[in-house]
Amino acid sequence: MRAPRGARRAQWSSLSREKKALAAVYTILRYSVILVLIAQVFNRNFESVFLCILTLILFLIPNFVEQRLHIDVPDTLEVIILLFIYAAEILGEIRAFYITFPYWDTMLHTLNGFLCAAIGFSLVDILNRNTKVTTFSLSPAYMAVVAFCFSMTVGVLWEFFEAAMDHFFLLDMQKDTIVNVISSVNLDPTGGNTPTAIRDIADVIIVHSDGTRQALGLGGYLDIGILDTMKDLFVNFIGATVFSIIGYFYVKKRGEGRFARRFIPRVMEPEEASAADRTEKN
């Protein structure tokens, strides 16, 4: 049973007041990015300028989804998305937090798994509750599995992107790892298929084409990205699993999951959609 029109308007008015906190976060982050952009222009660091512009564009996506697609993005989810973008692009890349804080990348990939599972879950949930699209009801377990698979697929596609950037543009998006033990069949002295290990590796020496040798002083062997990729996918798996479980109980006990509702977008009611249209025109 739908709430009376007056009650729905009062609820929408209350939600609008709650948006003030979101607007404050958005304003602070946006002006912070603009200040960083100006500084990078003076430093003639045009790669960072591009990252700042990209960040400002990404900040507009939640608002675009709400006003054009009439899908309400919960304030909690929107704030986390904005902070995630800022933490990844401005703090991670420009301020080098990926290097300064060893677990910064791990934290973001875990959060990415959680957020992507929430988005994947909401896509299925919106279709599942729309009688014009589907005439059958998906089980909570099925929806949780779809959300998990969506999140893992996004994580894998991102690792594909990182690998492509590293290969074609010689970047280092897949951060390398220093290891002291390696094992490979290529090291088998008999030329067979037996893995042979080299332990206690202290350094890597590069022999250049002119015959000169260069010791890198790394303290071990430089693993090229594979361990970082596996770690990123594993923490993505953890984040996706956590939200898939939350989403399962959200559908199982429809309407009782206050925590889950903070992360699952929903289709706006007609009054909410009209208010969003008026906001866009103004």
What residues does each domain of the chain span?
177-223
* Spatial contact of 252 and 138, defined as CB atoms under 8 Å apart: no
* Spatial contact of 250 and 260, defined as CB atoms under 8 Å apart: yes
* Spatial contact of 235 and 106, defined as CB atoms under 8 Å apart: yes
What is the rounded distance in angstroms from the CA atom of residue 136 to the CA atom of residue 128? 8
What global pTM score does this model have? 0.84
Distances 103 to 85, 107, 125, 212 between C-alpha atoms, Å: 17, 6, 33, 36
Question: Which among 72, 74, 59, 68 is positioned nearest to 28, based on CA atoms?
Answer: 59
Query: Which structure tokens are listed for 70?
Result: 């009439």
pLDDT in tens, the chain (282 residues): 444 555 455 444 545 555 788 889 999 999 999 999 999 999 999 999 999 999 999 999 998 988 888 888 899 999 999 999 999 999 999 999 998 998 999 999 999 999 999 999 988 888 777 656 555 578 889 999 999 999 999 999 999 999 999 999 888 888 888 999 999 999 999 999 999 999 999 999 999 999 999 999 989 998 888 999 999 999 999 999 999 999 998 888 875 667 888 888 887 766 666 665 665 555
Question: Which among 189, 182, 121 is positioned nearest to 150, based on CA atoms?
Answer: 121
* Spatial contact of 76 and 263, defined as CB atoms under 8 Å apart: yes
